[in-house]
Structure formats: C-alpha cells, structure tokens
Amino acid sequence: MTAPGDRKLLRLEVRNMATPIERKPEWIKTRARMGPEYRQLHGLVTSEGLHTVCQEAGCPNIFECWEDREATFLIGGAQCTRRCDFCQIGTGRPAEYDTDEPRRVGESVARMGLRYATVTGVARDDLPDEGSWLYAETIREIHRQAPGTGVEILVPDFSGRAEHLDRVFEAAPEVFAHNVETVPRVFRRIRPAFRYERSLDVLTQGRAAGLITKSNLILGMGEERHEVSTALRDLHAAGTDIITITQYLRPSPRHLPVARWVHPEEFTEIAAEAEEIGFLGVLAGPLVRSSYRAGRLWARSMAGHGRPVPDHLRALAEPVA
C-alpha cells in the first residue's frame, strides 16, 4: 500500500494503521440547517465553479459559516513540504508557484459576497521566502477586490524568520493566526518539522506588529488535562488574543489514532478556564474548527482591546441570532 501521490508509507503510518478507525461518540454529530444565505451561496459556488476548504474538507460547520457569509480558502497547492500526524493534507513535491492564485482567491471572495474570509495554506519550505509573499498578496487582493470583507490569515511558521513574517504583517490582515495545535510533551512527535517555542514566538511577533492574534489546540492526541492548562497559559503569555479548542478526528488509518474522546462538559470547563486566563475570544467544542465564527471572534477581540470595528465590517459585531 502507498500513500497519496504514490509515495512509500512511512513507518509511523504503518504503525498507525494497526489501529482501526475509532467509532465516534454520540455527541459528535451535526445537523444540516440550510438557511437562505447558505442556499444562495451554495448555488453561486456550484454554478461558478469556485472552491473552498469548507466543501472540500467536509467541514461540519459549513451550514452556519456560510449562513454568516464566512468561508475558508487554501493556497499554495495541495501538497505540503511538512507532515503533521493529524493533518489530512498530503505531503510531497509541491505544485509550481502560482503567482496568479491571490488574484483568483480575491475574485472568489468578491463574487461570493463574503463578510469574512479565512485563508490558510501549506508550508512551502521549497521556496526562498517559504511562500510568505503568496500569503501577503492574497490578503492584499481580498482587501482590494472585496473591501467589505475581513481577512484572517492562518500561516505556517515560516521557520520563525522575521523577514517572512513581516511581509505578512505589512499586508494588514484583520487576524494573524498560527496554530500550535498540541502540548509540548507530544508536540515533536506529532509535528516534527515545527517547534513549540518557535510557534509561540511567531504569535508574539504578530502581537508586536499590532495585529489581533489567534491559535488553536486539538484535544485527543495524547495530551493530559493539566498540559492543556499549561499550553493555554503559554499561548496567552505569548500574546494570543483568540483561542479555539477542538476534538481530534482521525482523517484516515494512516494518521495518529484518537487517544480519547473529550466530553462536551470538559470543553465547557476548558473554555471557562481560557476566559479566566484572559483570552479575548474563546470557542471550544468537539466540532469547533479554528475558522468557526471567526469574524465574530475578531469583533469581540477588537472590543476587548478597546478598538472600534470599522464601519464596513460592522455586521461582524452584531449579536448572533
């Protein structure tokens, strides 16, 4: 058996495959609520041949997010130069550098009439700038083509290099996000090409640049409960404004087995702890994803900093119906 792209399976992947896919507990389920905004947006995306991570990754929150006119886009190609044991994105030879991609993403955002767009992408260690121009240019193109849309940029670590990060900061996204994902003890095993302290420093640099900052933790990958508390304190001390916390769902038998299913009551407890620590925006739950309710979390964080929400993004500050 081979991995996607016909590459040979890693020994780690062979080991993972010895554990069958786990059965999900009762509380991990979604209800499809197709409101008018969702139906209109779905029709547009289908008829225009547009592509979003929301659809292609089968996100459980697509109905709510699209009803709020929020969507997520992936840039940089379908192959990542790094492999994390929880991530469904393939690892391999990256695509050619597509310098027209930012314009097309900006065009899609404008045609979809989004109020808020999250842009994420693969690591591009093959490029001299590690893809930082692509991220920055995508922010600029969305702001140019859809000036009424907020932009959240979710980046790799760019090896922590200030010149690459500054390129993204200067494009002025509404939110600068970098996901730490797990606790120090298991970090190296799950994210071997990343470093925990370096990821914290990336967030610190984003805060120093004056941006609203955000990160994510995935539970069920071998962490202990007290380690989650430590990671939350580390993230807050690093300057993180917004935190999302979710349950790990195994993408395939090749990936890390689920260590535990976190009960909704524990997510409620962790969310309360995060708020007490001082995060300005917190969402935690089994099906929360880092882009879930992203625009509203940004607006809440702006208020927490005492900053006014610009008139063209005022709808993001309205109460959820």
Please give the annotated binding residues, written as ranges. 54, 59, 65, 80, 84, 87, 291
The Cα–Cα gap between 268 and 266 comes to 5
Pair of tokens at residue 27: 């509380």
Instruction: Please give the C-alpha separations between residue 227 and each of 185, 206, 256, in angstroms, as whole numbers.
Output: 8, 24, 19
CB 238: neighbour CB atoms within 10 A? 21
201's enclosing H/E stretch is helix 196-208
CB 226: neighbour CB atoms within 10 A? 9
Secondary structure letter of residue 2 according to DSSP: B
Neighbouring residues of 185: CB distance < 8 A, sequence distance ≥ 6: 222, 223, 224, 227
The Cα–Cα gap between 65 and 162 comes to 33
Contact 81, 126 (CB under 8 A): yes
Binding site for [4Fe-4S] cluster: which residues? 54, 59, 65, 80, 84, 87, 291
Residues forming a β-bridge with 216? 244
Pair of tokens at residue 135: 């991220």
CB 71: neighbour CB atoms within 10 A? 28
